[in-house]
Every structure is written in C-alpha cells, then in structure tokens.
C-alpha cells in the first residue's frame, strides 16, 4: 500500500492516514500506519518522527567598485524533532497487510505554519509526520505534512491599546487627546472584515478632531543565525472617516467609532501569510489609527495609536482520504500512544546519520557581479506610544 508520499520498495510500501491534518499545538493527532508487504522481511524496527522547521532566505545587493556584491542570507532552525521506536520485530515479517493505530500529542506553544515568498525573499514554517521501517537489507519510509495553528495569546498577549498625547500650538498647551482601540475579538480569518472600535476622549482638549484614518498592515521579520534581519512591511488596506468631535466631547462605549477594513490586499501571492511567531520568523498584523486635530490658521496635526490582531487561515489543504486496495485485509497491531517530551528530541535520524537539530544551517555567501543595480532597503517603522 503506497501513495505519492511514500518511498516504496519492490517488496512493499507504507502510508500514514490521519483523522485531521490541521490542529493547534497541544492537540492530539490520531492516525494509522498502514504497511503492505509482498515479500518476507528480516527482523525490522518501525520509527515514528514528528518534525517542525523554520527556513529563511533573502538577498542584499551592495554597491562596490568596480561592481556590486550580492550577499545571500540563509537560516534554518528546527522547532522540534522527536523520534520514537514504536515497533521492534525480532522475527521475520511475513507478507501481508499491517495496521498500527497511533496517537501523538503535539507540543504546546509551537509557531503556526507559514509561507512567504516574494522574489528572492522567503520564509517558511513546516511540520511533518514520518515513519520508517528499517532492517538490515532495506528501508520503507513515508511522510505527510500537517498544518499548525498558533495560539493567539502567544502572539499578542495584549490587544486593547490606548494612547494619550499632549497637544500644543505655537508653544501653548492645547490640552490632551486620548485614543483607545477596542477589539471584540482579536482573531480573524483571511476572508473576514477587520472590525474594531476607536474610543476618542477629547474632554481635556481645546482642539476639534476632524477626521480619523485607519490602515491595516503587516510586519514580517526574518532572521539568520548571525542575528542579521530582513524586515518587510506592507499596507493591506486604508480608510478615512470624516466627522467633527469638538473640544470637551467624548466618543466611548456605544458611541465609539466603528472601524472596518478588508484583508483583500492579501492577494494570491501571499495566500499563506498568517500571524506567526517563531525563532527566526515573525509575522504580525497591525491596525494603525490616526486622529487629526485642527490648529486653526496654523494647520493641524495627528495622533496615532496601533494595535495587533491575529490572522488565521480559513482552511489549510486537507489531503484526500486514502482508498485502500480491494484486497486490503490488515493484521491489527497494538496501538502506540505517544506524547511529545524533550527526552525524545534527536539530532540523528533513525539510520544514525548525523544532523544538526537546532539552527541547522546558516550560510552567508557573497557573489560579486558587474551590475550597479542595488536593492532598496525595506522600511520598518515602530511607533512608540504610551500604552494603557
């Protein structure tokens, strides 16, 4: 029994079936390992492995005489890699079909699945389950991809944010303006409208508020092991609300200003761009709201406040169920109940081949070219404000 995900030898094949392929860290996966043998096998071991990995890549072009240097950054970090020996046959395995049910409790607090590709800039977080049946003569292996949703409290521990700003005109104090963003929920799907409320406290101000602008954007940070970083920030959508809020007036609670913007700016190119916080990849979605005040003949100014929110996928890819052969008649083997524990972390695979389990590779290479073109730096702005 085999599929495209399995490496099938002439004497048989293997496949993993799961009850679900999308889950949150800490959830338990239920599934079966299905093996079909057409020839006898010598004594064999069956290994189960769960692995999560982050990978990044970007290029920077720096001008130099007489040409330009392309500096390539690559980073990789293993989130987890646990391996279990779930079966050991001391006698020969006879031809036939075998099914081993299993459960696996995934680790808590792991980053969500993620994918960003834009030209030469790439960041990806992936998770895989794999099994290997190994003996002295041959190996069967199979692998299936799963998708992880990250707990939003790990991404944004504080969501409702406020700011108070002192207003001045011609060196004279004009009082104080207060802004606060209120969320009924911080979690949204990629097809949802992003809705929140803006409370405006103009009771201690001598100037009117004449309009509010809102902007949705994301900040993406990619890192390598040398602590070099690549920042990407892009605006998704904007909207302007025009009204008058006079001095000594207030818009709070049921009178707060409703803000609603679309995520449609995340086109197909970024269809796998979600909120995620890992070791070398961090993507955060933000709303920035600016209130404009009039200074009369001296013009006006703006006060800004921002707040994060979580973007989750509507649905990840779900593989079609495996249809067993008509003559599938498996021997049922005792279930394996597995739990993620650090003691099962490995830095070698089941065949004893050494790997590097954390920060697996970091490579910064330089290629010199004769072109004088340079890559402009991305802007990344952090708005510092007083939080309440």
Domain boundaries, the chain: 6-151+316-349+359-369, 153-312
Whether 312 and 188 have beta carbons less than 8 Å apart is answered as yes
The mean pLDDT value for 364-383 works out to: 32
One CATH from 3.60.21.10, 2.60.40.640, 3.30.1780.10, 2.60.120.560 for 6-151+316-349+359-369? 2.60.40.640
Asked whether the predicted pLDDT for residue 217 surpasses 80, the reply is yes
pLDDT value, residue 362: 41
H helices present in 172-318, as ranges: none
- Nearest by Cα to 266 from 326, 323, 312, 230: 312
Q: How far is CA 191 from the centre of its chain?
A: 17
Name the fold adopted by 153-312. Immunoglobulin-like (2.60.40)
Confidence (pTM)? 0.78
Per-residue pLDDT tens over the stretch 258-269: 999 988 767 666
Q: Would 6-151+316-349+359-369 and 153-312 be classified into the same CATH topology?
A: yes
The Cα–Cα gap between 294 and 206 comes to: 10
pLDDT, one tens digit per residue, over 308-333 is 998 887 766 677 777 888 899 999 99
How far apart are the C-alpha atoms of 177 and 383, rounded to whole Å?
A: 17
Cα distances from 59 to residues 28, 46, 114, 366, in angstroms, run: 39, 41, 20, 10
Provide the pLDDT confidence category of residue 297 given band limits of 50, 70 and 90: low
Distance from C-alpha of 250 to C-alpha of 203, rounded to nearest angstrom = 6
More confident residue, 184 or 295: 184
Beta bridge partners of 18: 31
Dihedral through CA 206, CA 212, CA 216, CA 220, nearest 10?
-30
Q: Which of 130, 116, 109, 105 is nearest to 16 (CA)?
A: 130
């Amino acid at each position: 029994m085999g599929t495209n995900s399995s490496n099938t030898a002439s004497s048989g094949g293997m496949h993993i079936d799961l009850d679900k392929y999308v889950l949150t860290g800490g959830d338990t996966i239920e599934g079966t390992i299905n093996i079909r043998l057409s020839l006898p096998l010598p004594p064999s071991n069956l290994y189960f492995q769960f692995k999560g990995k982050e990978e990044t890549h970007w290029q920077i072009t720096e001008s130099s005489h007489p040409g330009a240097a392309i500096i390539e950054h690559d980073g990789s970090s293993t989130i987890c890699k646990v391996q279990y020996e779930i079966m050991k046959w001391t006698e020969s395995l006879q031809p036939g079909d075998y099914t081993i049910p299993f459960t696996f409790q995934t680790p808590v607090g792991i980053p969500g699945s993620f994918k960003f590709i834009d030209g030469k800039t790439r960041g990806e977080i992936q998770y895989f389950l794999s099994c290997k049946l190994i003996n002295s003569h041959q190996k069967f292996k199979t692998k299936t991809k799963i998708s992880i949703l990250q707990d939003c409290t790990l991404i944004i521990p504080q969501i409702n944010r406020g700011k108070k700003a002192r207003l001045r005109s011609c060196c004279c104090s004009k009082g104080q303006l207060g802004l606060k963003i209120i969320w009924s929920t911080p979690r949204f799907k990629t097809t949802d409208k992003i809705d929140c409320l803006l409370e405006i406290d103009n009771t201690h101000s001598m100037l009117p508020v004449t309009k509010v602008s809102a902007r949705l954007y994301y900040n993406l940070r990619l890192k390598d092991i040398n602590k070099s970083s690549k920042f990407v920030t892009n605006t998704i959508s904007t909207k302007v609300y025009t009204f008058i809020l006079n001095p000594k007036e207030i818009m709070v609670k049921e009178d707060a200003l409703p803000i609603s913007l679309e995520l449609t700016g995340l086109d197909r190119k970024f269809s796998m761009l979600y909120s995620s916080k890992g070791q070398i990849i961090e993507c955060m979605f933000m709303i920035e709201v600016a209130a404009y005040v009039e200074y009369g003949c001296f013009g006006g100014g703006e006060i800004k406040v921002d707040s994060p929110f979580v973007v989750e996928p509507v649905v990840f890819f779900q593989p079609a169920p495996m249809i067993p052969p008509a003559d599938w008649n498996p021997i049922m083997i005792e279930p394996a109940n597995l739990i993620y524990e650090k003691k099962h972390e490995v830095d070698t695979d089941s065949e004893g081949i050494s790997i590097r389990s954390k920060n697996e590779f970091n490579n910064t290479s330089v290629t010199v070219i004769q072109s004088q073109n340079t890559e402009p730096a991305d802007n990344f702005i952090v708005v510092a404000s007083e939080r309440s």
